[in-house]
Amino acid sequence: MDADFSALVIERDETGRQEIALRQMAESALPGGDVTVRVEYSTLNYKDALAITGQAPVIRQFPMIPGIDFAGTVTRCDDPALSPGDRVILNGWGLGEKHWGGLAGMARVPAAWLVPLPETLSSRQAMAIGTAGYTAMLSVMALERNGIQPETGPVIVSGASGGVGSLAVMLLSRLGYRVEAMTGRPAHTAWLRSLGATAILDRALFTSPCKPLAREQWAGAIDTAGGQILANICAGMAARGVVTACGLAAGMEFPATVAPFILRGISLIGIDSVYCPRALRLEAWKRLSDLVDQGLLESLVQEIGLSDAPAAARDLLEGRCRGRLVVAIGG
């Protein structure tokens, strides 16, 4: 029987103008894939906000259902690795860009894109973590693989009030690191300290060009901003420091010099959460299920409905959101 579901659908009119609407759709309209999932929760990430508002060319084909991640339950499956009733998560793989995404009551995807939902997490908790927390965990794992341990020195996190940044602060603190949280919103100081930040840094100090080398301050960094902020972080890294880059909220450019790389031996590591290998995905979600403080996680969450997503996307891009926007799909 063909089930109906609600979905946010983005289309372009004949002039190229982008339009978004909440629609009822039939399961038969879903794209190809060997697994059909009843989506229970999704999220609103920075990339989703860009797609929904049309402020960046995120969407590769129209019509498109946005949403780069989801959690839900398998309803139909042609792959022996999964069965109806299995609880699953999907992050990335071009979801919401090239393949219909998670801001809908149902999704059909290749089985290889899915990972099992850890038994200790509900679908809502998984999306409270979402791609943001999964990306933050990949960043922490990259620091660890490259020798940055709690005793090595402090770690700076940019965009600490956002989804990736706030979860990175929490994870690093839970692992025993000293965390310096950079934010442009001083009103969030007490909240960031509750997540484990030991110092709060004013983003305005990182937005102007600096000297090729600044005072050595940090052993590690998780940067969600890019642009001048990333360049200034690199200039202030200690010898053999490690920087992970996973975002571009402050721009795609990188106005830096090679000085910190060849005079201090620092490393800059890109974090690709979209096409990350399955083994790393499984490790990241296992560690997230073990590490995340569920009480603190709930303090990050604002829950919205599908119909609220377009307005929330504008708020997110204009810096009016804190933490994680979880979308309750509701059929």
Query: How confident is the model at residue 14, as a pLDDT?
Result: 81
Q: Is the same domain home to 256 and 147?
A: yes
DSSP labels, 89-123: EEE-TTBTTTB--SSBSEEEE-GGG-EEPPTT--H
Q: Give the closest residue to 312 by CA, choosing from 301, 17, 281, 255.
A: 301
Distance of CA 171 to the CA centre of its chain: 14
Q: Is the same domain home to 20 and 60?
A: yes
Cis check for the bond before 57: say yes or no (omega within 30 of 0). Answer: no
CATH of the domain at 21: 3.90.180.10
Within a domain: 207: yes
Within a domain: 288: no
Are 252 and 226 a contacting pair, CB within 8 Å? yes
Within a domain: 152: yes
Say if strands 35-44 and 106-109 run parallel, antiparallel, or are unpaired.
Answer: antiparallel
Query: How confident is the model at residue 279, as a pLDDT?
Result: 96
Within a domain: 277: no
Helices 163-174 and 278-291: crossing angle, nearest 10°? 70
Regions of the chain where pLDDT drops below 50: none
Query: How confident is the model at residue 321, as a pLDDT?
Result: 81
Are 108 and 30 a contacting pair, CB within 8 Å? yes
Q: Is the same domain home to 215 and 323?
A: no
Q: Is the same domain home to 245 and 145?
A: yes
Q: Give the closest residue to 107 by CA, choosing from 80, 85, 89, 126.
A: 89
Q: Is the same domain home to 97 and 134?
A: no
Which residue is listed with tokens 């022996």? 80
Q: Is the same domain home to 65 and 165?
A: no
Within a domain: 124: no
Q: Is the same domain home to 260 and 303?
A: no
Residue 15 CB burial class (10 angstroms; 0-12, 13-18, ≥19)? exposed
Backbone angles phi, psi at 91, to 5 degrees: -130, 125
CATH of the domain at 163: 3.40.50.720
Q: Is the same domain home to 266 and 323?
A: no
Domain span including residue 220: 130-270
Q: Would you say the pTM of this structure is higher than 0.75?
A: yes
Which conformational region is residue 157 in: left (phi greater than 0), alpha (psi within -120 to 50 degrees), or beta?
Answer: beta
Q: Is the same domain home to 239 and 151?
A: yes
Q: How far is CA 140 from CA 15, 167, 244, in A?
A: 44, 11, 8
Other beta carbons within 10 Å of 55:
13
Q: Is the same domain home to 250 and 137?
A: yes
Backbone angles phi, psi at 254, to 5 degrees: -140, 80
Q: How far is 227 from 229, CA to CA, in rounded Å?
A: 5
Number of domains in the chain: 2
Are 12 and 62 a contacting pair, CB within 8 Å? yes
Helix, strand, or coil here: 33?
coil
Within a domain: 278: no
Within a domain: 283: no
Q: Is the same domain home to 215 and 265?
A: yes
Say if strands 218-223 and 237-245 run parallel, antiparallel, or are unpaired.
Answer: parallel
Q: Give the closest residue to 8 by CA, choosing from 300, 249, 308.
A: 308
Amino acid identity of 263?
Answer: L
Query: How confident is the model at residue 299, as a pLDDT?
Result: 85
Q: Is the same domain home to 152 and 265?
A: yes
Query: How confident is the model at residue 1, as a pLDDT?
Result: 52
> 247-280: string of b/e by CB count within 10 Å (b at 16+)?
bbbbeeeeebeeebeeebebbbeebebeebeeeb
Within a domain: 19: yes
Run of H or E residues at 295: helix 294-300
